[in-house]
């Protein structure tokens, strides 16, 4: 079983059995102690402090442990530098109050460590602060790529920052700046576009919005994310964490510009990528993580490894730790075996495998990050804020509206508000399906009422009932049929597929039945697709009078009906090529002869300002 899944299961069991290692201390959260022994007020103070630190204190600073895999007392005993929440790893009390209590207790422990250096806490808030119940869930990146609105991206970054600060957290592992080249990849929906120029255009304002809102950002995953070749996936993966087999020149052209833009925008951390480039794992490749990133791109911030990613780069842990740190990793995301990693760092420094100079450089980057994040202020206790605010929902609703792409319209859209509509399909009434992976759990949930969000059905019923129309059970009573089909939620390698058909393993059960039912009704059909990527529709689209791609819109389903019923015009355009066959899945706008190939739809297609 993939270690990651095992790790998640362990986390799940800990939470399930209530023996969450932080539960007791979390609830006691004794945070009345003054924090910190060293007050750092300048960069010079940092250099001075590092000179006084022991190897043990330095080793602790290079560790990022998972919240459920560490005790409060260990944060102090080991001088731990950082804590993260993996996808779905939340405190027992999953409210801003519960998070802040947990955070303050952790900072209090860090303040009691021998170095007194605070922790920095990181999470994946990749479409809003998806970790927290009733947070505002924004469209996933691929939908934002369809909206292609930089101003909106800055507003989304700012809204996300508000909901991350509301729980006391400092650091968001976002944005991903992958430019997905093959939509069979399970992380396609985390990519804004197959075109790197669009990725840069959208990532920068999002970074600005987050940073201006006081949140540290991570540009990820450096380098080669989205450029791996199908069939080279790590282990049993089809493509995720695979090998980039295109030339370094092609990879640089297709991925580097977004990093240059993000670094120029001041993104302070970069996450290394699981994949290999030309057969060499990025996490162990100094030419990439140091020579290219530091010397060519002049990045001065911190490089964090990905979740247990170092464990695949060398035969044993000691070699993994030495190789990763010497390649350029400054902080090791080792959620559960961090105690062994801690010992391995110390052993490697004592043996000279990791030089004191390299150790100090990595420590400095960690301490500078926390200094620049304002974490050395004497009084650092956080207070809970608001999530799921009306202001943020309004921004998310607008993002949904702008993300919808109208791909076929035989004079049937916008829908009439007084119509009798028969709504069917497995994606019609499920906020979990609308939200996809990286929501209440790492893989996402098929949960109709996730976070009290608004489903397509909720939103349609609201509009119709206010305008003399209605949703009707019997298609015979309907003017038209609206068919909602799509994909199951997934994340990362679990979303890799060789089959993009609507009845593939990752497609929702019931897609084909619903398509057949709609056809049997004899009524005009408008199909809405709710999925993380284009699915193959060539066999069905001729039976549809209208076709709309809604991507993974999240909780604000009323953004869909704003456009479907004509209150707003369609403006979305395709950020990825829409294949007619699985074999076309890796076709992108940048390929030669692109225009001569018979795709379902082209990059940039969309009937805009329609009607
Ligand atoms: C994951 C992802 C990365 C995420 C990290 C922490 O495996 O690759 O995007 O930030 O772990 O959850």
Q: Per-residue pLDDT tens for 569-581? A: 999 999 999 999 9
Annotation: CATH topology of 58-372: TIM Barrel (3.20.20)
Record the tokens describing residue 420, joined without a space: 């009798």
Question: Of ligand 1's atoms, which has the minimum distance to the CA of residue 122?
Answer: 6
Our measurement of the distance from residue 502's CA atom to the centroid of its chain's CA atoms, rounded to an integer in Å, reads 24
pTM given for the model: 0.94
Fold (CATH) for 391-596: Rossmann fold (3.40.50)
Per the structure block, which two tokens stand in for 228?
């791996």
579 lines ligand 1 (CB under 6 A): no
End-to-end CA distance of the chain: 51
- Phi and psi at 199, nearest 5°, equal -60, -45
DSSP 529-582: EESSS--B-TTTGGG-SEEEE----TTBTHHHHHHHTTSS------SS-B-SSG
The pair of three-digit structure tokens given for residue 294, joined into one six-digit string: 């530091």
Ligand 1 centre from 45 Cα, in Å? 32
Q: Which atom of ligand 1 is nearest to the CA of 442?
A: 12
Low-confidence ranges of the chain (pLDDT < 70): 1-38, 378-379, 610-611
For residue 175 and ligand 1, the question of a CB distance below 6 A is answered with no
> Please, are residues 143 and 399 in contact by the beta-carbon 8 Å criterion?
yes
**Residue in 306, 308, 329 to alter for ligand 1 test, most ligand atoms within 8 A of Cβ:** 306
Residue 53, token pair as written in the block: 């630190």
At 461, list the tokens.
């019923």
The pLDDT value recorded for residue 30 is: 42
- Whole-number pLDDT of residue 377: 77
Task: Give the burial class of 252: count Cβ atoms within 10 A of its Cβ; 0-12 exposed, 13-18 middle, 19 or more buried.
Answer: middle
Strand 525-530 and strand 470-471: pairing? unpaired
Whether the domain at 58-372 and the domain at 391-596 fall into the same CATH topology: no
Active site residues: 306, 492
Residue 381 is predicted with a pLDDT of 84
CA of 65 to the centre of ligand 1 (A): 13
For residue 307 and ligand 1, the question of a CB distance below 6 A is answered with yes
Place of tokens 């389903």: 557
Number of the ligand 1 atom closest to the C-alpha atom of 4: 7
Pairing, β 280-281 against β 276-277? antiparallel
DSSP calls for 62-85? TEEEEGGG--HHHHHHTT--EEE-
pLDDT value of position 610 = 60
| Domain boundaries along the sequence of the chain | 58-372, 391-596
241 Cα–ligand 1 center, Å:
12
92 touches 53 (CB < 8 A) = no
For the Cβ of 429 lying below 6 angstroms from any atom of ligand 1, the answer is: no
Specify the residue for token string 């706008």: 589
For residue 523 and ligand 1, the question of a CB distance below 6 A is answered with no
Pairing of strands 171-172, 82-84: unpaired
Pair of tokens at residue 532: 């993380």
The reply to whether ligand 1 has any atom less than 6 angstroms from the CB of 222 is: no
Q: Is the beta carbon of 306 within 6 A of some atom in ligand 1?
A: yes
Long-range contacts of 53-57, Cβ-Cβ distance < 8 Å, separation of 24 or more: 53/115, 53/363, 54/114, 55/346, 55/349, 55/350, 55/359, 56/346, 57/113, 57/114, 57/115, 57/117
User: Please, are residues 499 and 487 in contact by the beta-carbon 8 Å criterion?
Assistant: no
| CA 490 to centroid of ligand 1, rounded, Å | 14
Residue of 545, 557, 333 whose CA lies nearest to 449: 557
CB-neighbour burial class of residue 532 (10 A; exposed 0-12, middle 13-18, buried 19+): buried
Q: Is 241 near ligand 1, meaning CB less than 6 Å away?
A: no
* pLDDT for residue 3: 46
Q: Nearest residue CA, atom 7 of ligand 1?
A: 307
Contact (CB, 8 A) for 371 and 345: no
The reported pLDDT for the residue numbered 609 is 77
- The rounded distance, in Å, linking the Cα atoms of 290 and 270 is 12
Burial 583-593 (b: 16+ CB within 10 A, else e): ebbbbbbbeee
Distance of CA 252 to the CA centre of its chain: 23
């Amino acid at each position: 079983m993939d270690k990651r899944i095992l790790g998640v299961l362990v986390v799940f069991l800990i939470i399930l059995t209530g023996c969450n290692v932080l539960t007791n201390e979390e609830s006691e959260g004794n945070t009345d102690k003054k924090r910190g022994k060293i007050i750092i007020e300048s960069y010079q103070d940092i250099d001075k402090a590092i000179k006084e630190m022991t190897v043990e204190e330095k080793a602790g600073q290079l560790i990022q442990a998972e919240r459920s895999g560490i005790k409060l007392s260990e944060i102090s005993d080991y001088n731990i530098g950082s804590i993260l929440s993996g996808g779905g790893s939340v405190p027992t009390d999953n409210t801003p109050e519960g998070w802040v209590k947990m955070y303050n207790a952790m900072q209090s422990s860090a303040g009691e460590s021998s170095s007194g250096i605070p922790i920095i806490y990181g999470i994946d808030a990749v479409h809003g602060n998806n970790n927290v119940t009733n947070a505002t869930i924004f469209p996933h990146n691929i939908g934002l790529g369809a909206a292609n609105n930089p101003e909106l991206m800055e507003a989304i970054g700012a809204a996300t920052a508000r909901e991350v600060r509301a729980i006391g957290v400092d650091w968001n592992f976002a944005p991903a700046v992958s430019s997905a080249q093959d939509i069979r990849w399970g992380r396609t929906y985390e990519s804004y576009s197959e075109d790197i120029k669009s990725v840069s255009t959208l990532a920068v304002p999002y970074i600005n919005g987050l940073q201006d809102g006081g949140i540290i950002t991570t540009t990820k995953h450096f380098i080669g994310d989205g450029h791996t070749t199908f069939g080279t996936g790590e282990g049993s993966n089809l493509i995720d964490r695979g090998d980039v087999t295109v030339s370094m020149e092609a990879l640089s052209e297709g991925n580097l510009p977004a990093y240059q833009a993000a670094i120029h925008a001041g993104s302070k951390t970069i996450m290394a990528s699981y994949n290999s480039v030309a057969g060499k794992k990025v996490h162990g490749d100094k030419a990439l993580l140091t020579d290219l990133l530091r010397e060519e791109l002049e990045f001065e911030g911190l490089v964090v490894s990905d979740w247990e990613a170092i464990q695949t780069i060398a035969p044993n842990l000691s070699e993994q730790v030495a190789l990763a740190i010497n390649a350029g990793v400054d902080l090791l995301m080792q959620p559960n075996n961090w105690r062994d990693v801690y010992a391995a760092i110390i052993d490697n420094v004592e043996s000279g495998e990791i030089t004191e100079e390299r150790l100090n450089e990595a420590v400095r980057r960690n301490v500078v990050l926390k200094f620049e994040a304002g974490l050395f202020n004497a009084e650092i206790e956080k207070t809970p804020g608001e999530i799921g605010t009306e202001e943020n929902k309004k921004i998310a609703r607008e993002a949904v509206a702008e993300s919808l792409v109208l791909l076929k319209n035989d004079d049937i859209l916008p829908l009439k508000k007084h119509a009798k509509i028969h709504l069917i399909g497995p994606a019609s009434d499920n906020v979990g399906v609308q939200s996809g992976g990286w929501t209440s759990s790492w893989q996402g949930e098929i949960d109709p009422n996730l976070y009290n969000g608004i489903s397509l059905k909720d939103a349609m019923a609201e509009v119709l009932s206010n305008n003399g129309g209605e949703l009707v059970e019997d298609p015979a009573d309907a003017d038209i049929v609206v068919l909602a089909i799509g994909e199951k939620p997934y994340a990362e390698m679990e979303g890799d597929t060789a089959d993009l058909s609507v009845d593939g393993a990752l497609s929702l059960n019931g897609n084909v039945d619903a398509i057949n039912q709609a056809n049997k009704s004899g009524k005009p059909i408008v199909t809405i697709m709710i999925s993380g990527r284009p699915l193959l529709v060539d066999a069905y689209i001729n039976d549809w009078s209208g076709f709309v791609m809604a991507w993974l819109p999240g909780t604000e389903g009323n953004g869909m009906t704003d456009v479907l019923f004509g209150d707003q015009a369609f403006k979305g355009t395709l950020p990825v090529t829409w294949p007619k066959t699985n074999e076309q899945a890796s076709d992108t706008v940048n390929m030669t002869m692109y225009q001569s190939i018979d795709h379902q739809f082209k990059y940039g297609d969309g009937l805009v300002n329609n009607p």
